Chains A and B, each alone.
Chain A
């Protein structure tokens, strides 16, 4: 299964990547499992699975850890928003 992953703001700067297409192994089918999968890369990526302030969106809608992730989805990770 392949998904597009986006990173914004301070998270994008920390990871040094704004967007990437990632092929996911079987079983990585929710936002929470995707966070654990990305954290396995180590280094600056480790915090993705444990940072409780980190927000996620699936197909441009806010999503919690249980939200399913499917083929072709756009998944975004970002810090709490500060607009307005």
Chain B
């Protein structure tokens, strides 16, 4: 299990191989990769800067992973989140969840991303043709977290 907050890019294939290396009890790995798009809210995006709260980002992500592990029967979880300057096409975040069966892995992967979106202290600032702007939090992200209370 691991959480990494880093400036450099990650290699999905290598991380996936490391997650399952030497084990024969893994029946499923669910993965999520978030990337920088070239458009947002009707404007072109040429670059983005991800600011974070060093220390708290690490502990907030570890807390989310612990919640997921207490909720589902998981074998391993990896979260890698980047910060700094990124351009369209760059990857931002990786979540890998391994379990014996796919159900737990799919659900836990989505759970981790939903809580990361509302609880992990990262902030995006986009560069548009009109200048730089801070990305506003979406109401739909708060709603995505709340649905886990009911299930």
A residues with a Cβ closer than 8 A to B are 6, 8-10, 53, 57, 60-62, 76, 78-84
Contact = CB atoms under 8 A, between A and B. Distances in A.
Contacts of B59: 60-61
Interface string B40-79: 0000000000111101100110000000000000000000
* Interface range, B side: 20 to 34
| SS class, residues of chain B in contact with chain A | mixed
Contacts, number: 73
B106 interface: no
Contacts of B52: 83
B136 A82 contact: yes
7 closest A-B pairs by CB:
A83-B122, A80-B137, A9-B123, A60-B56, A10-B134, A82-B135, A84-B117
Interface of B: 34, 50-53, 55-56, 59-60, 81, 92-93, 113, 116-125, 134-137
A83 B121 CA distance: 7
Nearest to B117: A84
